[in-house]
Amino acid sequence: MITLKNERDEHAPAIERLLDASFSESRWHKTCQRLREGQAPIRNLSLVALGRGALVGTVRLWPVLAGRRRALLLGPLAVDPAWRDQGVGAALMAEALRRAKGEGEKSVILVGDEEYYGRFGFAPNATTGLYLPGPVDRARFLANEFVPGALTGAEGDVRPLAA
């Protein structure tokens, strides 16, 4: 049994431990990290999963400009290894996306495995005109358009926006 909560300052140390355990040092060198450096995640869309009193999952969303369109960047998403394959990741994704839609956001982008994120509506076809600030496997550069065509014709760099 898990509970989803808004991320708060007090969760930061446990989130860092979970991200270190999930991605190791390489997380600091990921292309998407360039879009997060010095920025703050959107508080009411970034969630933690709590299980038996401990933080067992995290998802964060960040505002970006995709070409000239506002979009959200999702990530990192991570679940404590002891809690994987029990739907925690799916619960975090569903709630974060539900809230983003409710806020009137039109699209979310991320870099990740389509085999996992496809189930939440993500595909690589809407990101073909967009460029991240570093190398990326384009098959893993995915978008979910809440509003059909939200990213149609979006071209250019993806850049951070202040939260």
Ligand X SMILES: CC(C)(COP(=O)(O)OP(=O)(O)OC[C@H]1O[C@@H](n2cnc3c(N)ncnc32)[C@H](O)[C@@H]1OP(=O)(O)O)[C@@H](O)C(=O)NCCC(=O)NCCS
Chain residues in the site for ligand X (CB under 6 A): 22, 77-79, 84-90, 112-113, 115-116
Least separation, in Å, of the C-beta of 51 and ligand X? 11
Separation between Cα atoms, residue 143 and residue 67, nearest integer Å? 14
Least separation, in Å, of the C-beta of 77 and ligand X? 5
- CA 143-128-139 angle, 5° bins: 65
Give 67 or 95: the residue with its C-beta nearer to ligand X. 95
Determine the residue with CB nearest ligand X.
Answer: 89
Give 69 or 141: the residue with its C-beta nearer to ligand X. 141
Least separation, in Å, of the C-beta of 159 and ligand X? 22
- DSSP annotation of 73 reads E
Q: What are the backbone angles phi and psi of residue 146, rounded to the nearest 5°? A: -65, -40
DSSP letter string over 14-34? Answer: HHHHHHHHHHGGGGGGSTTHH
Question: What tokens appear for 66 in the block?
Answer: 């995709």
Give 116 or 131: the residue with its C-beta nearer to ligand X. 116
Least separation, in Å, of the C-beta of 84 and ligand X? 3
